[in-house]
Structure 1
Amino acid sequence: MRSYLLLVLLCVSILSCAQDKTPIAGETEFQKEINSDYKDATTSPLKDKDRKNFKGLDFFKFDSTFVVKTNLKRTLDSKWFKMQTTTSRVSDERVYGVLTFKLKGKDYKLNVYQGKASMKTEGYEDYLFLPFLDNTNGEHSYGGGRYIDLRIPEGDTIEIDFNKAYNPYCAYNEKYSCPIVPRENYLDLEVKAGVKTFKKH
């Protein structure tokens, strides 16, 4: 009888523990992944006070019209330059290429960048950095623009999924040094996709 009671208590305790563990919020894999990283103290850019009650970031609703195929025109002879950041640090970057695409019936182009540091970092040798500004900045999304991570393709096309646009870490914590989006990477439309502005506590 005693062992049976212990078994019942154990089951109740396991169930209550399982119920206490809140599932990671998010409608897409990207949303779940970023929410998981931001909830974890070892990977989160959030301040302790903001992470304490963190339930998940705010996202625009997933919109497949913001997933676009782009044509990549490489500019491999481009010069390295010092990309300004939100601190005194500068980042050695170059324009890897120009991405041209149609979005909402109009033609757009964005520069995609390659960093010297990432080329020497294991696992990031083929990393490309796509920062951009749009007409949601300052109201629905972070005022300083957002970023998208890309990889060097084998051919001349790259898919951009604006639903994976995320805020620089300095949107959450001023201790971070974040590249400032070059003005030429401004899109004259509202990109209602990706991460929204962060409401600090």
Structure 2
Amino acid sequence: MYNDLQKGLILILILVIAGCGDGKKYHDEQSTEMLESLDTDVASIIEFQKKLNKEFSDPETSPLPDRYRKDFKGLDFFEPDTSYAVKATFLRTPDAMPFLMPTNTERMSMEVIFGIVTFQLKGNTYELEVYQNEELKSQEGLEDYLFLPFTDATNGEETYGGGRYIDLKIPEGDLMVIDFNKAYNPYCAYNKKYSCPLVPKQNSLDIEIFAGVKAFK
């Protein structure tokens, strides 16, 4: 929902037909400068949206069926809102054991809780689990790739009912940036032939996240 950072879109969205073929979407490097600025400039968000639209327009990387892609004009995004880019503390969970994460099909995805992120948003404190895929971490270029799925109070209305994903990287220290403006839908939101990890209930936010990709209509 992987090796070429410009191709693919989702962490471990595997074609049901093929049973494999992992591909991850592009994500930016997280530097010390970004931690200081929170990477909240609107230009960065617009660039993310452009890259996502480019991937969806390309038949080689798009999850859209041909009947939708031929008339595709662009995904529907919330307006960039830098208040949804937050600095989070990152706590490693080195003793966590791998587990099978359910998907929307019979397939199970082998994941491990790599860490817990804690952040403040709209005056409240939240915690979310961040995962690392056991297969992907052995692939070149994906050793530091992390997966943050979440649900929020917009699901089923403004956004996809099954929740959304954010791509992250293992931080050098105990801080990382989570930019909800870069939240995207799993491939199964666009095409039923994809198998997508389901968001664990512990990653449910009780607030509305008016940022990132909206529901596909």
TM-score by length of 2: 0.79
* One-letter identity of the residue aligned with 1:180: L
2:137 aligned to 107, 111, 119, which one? Answer: 119
1:134 aligned to 125, 129, 152, which one? Answer: 152
2:155 equivalent to 1:151: no
- For residue 189 of structure 2, what is the aligned residue in structure 1? 171
1:61 aligned to 79, 91, 104, which one? Answer: 79
Q: CA deviation at 1:122?
A: 1.4
Paired-residue identity, %: 60
TM-score by length of 1: 0.85
- For residue 13 of structure 1, what is the aligned residue in structure 2? none
- For residue 191 of structure 1, what is the aligned residue in structure 2? 209
* One-letter identity of the residue aligned with 2:193: K
- Alpha-carbon distance in structure 2 between the residues aligned to 1:126 and 1:189: 29
- CA deviation map 1:95-139 (0-9, x unaligned): 101100000110001000011011011111100000000000000
2:73 equivalent to 1:78: no
- For residue 121 of structure 2, what is the aligned residue in structure 1? 103
Q: CA deviation at 1:83?
A: 0.3
Q: Which has the higher helix share?
A: 1
Structure 1: which 4+ aligned runs deviate by more than 6 Å? none
Q: Which stretches in structure 2 are left out of the alignment for 5+ residues?
A: 1-44
* One-letter identity of the residue aligned with 1:195: V
- Alpha-carbon distance in structure 2 between the residues aligned to 1:108 and 1:176: 30
- Alpha-carbon distance in structure 2 between the residues aligned to 1:39 and 1:105: 38
- CA deviation map 1:21-43 (0-9, x unaligned): xxxxxx70000000000000000
* One-letter identity of the residue aligned with 2:137: M
- For residue 34 of structure 1, what is the aligned residue in structure 2? 52
- For residue 38 of structure 2, what is the aligned residue in structure 1? none
- Alpha-carbon distance in structure 1 between the residues aligned to 2:192 and 2:176: 32
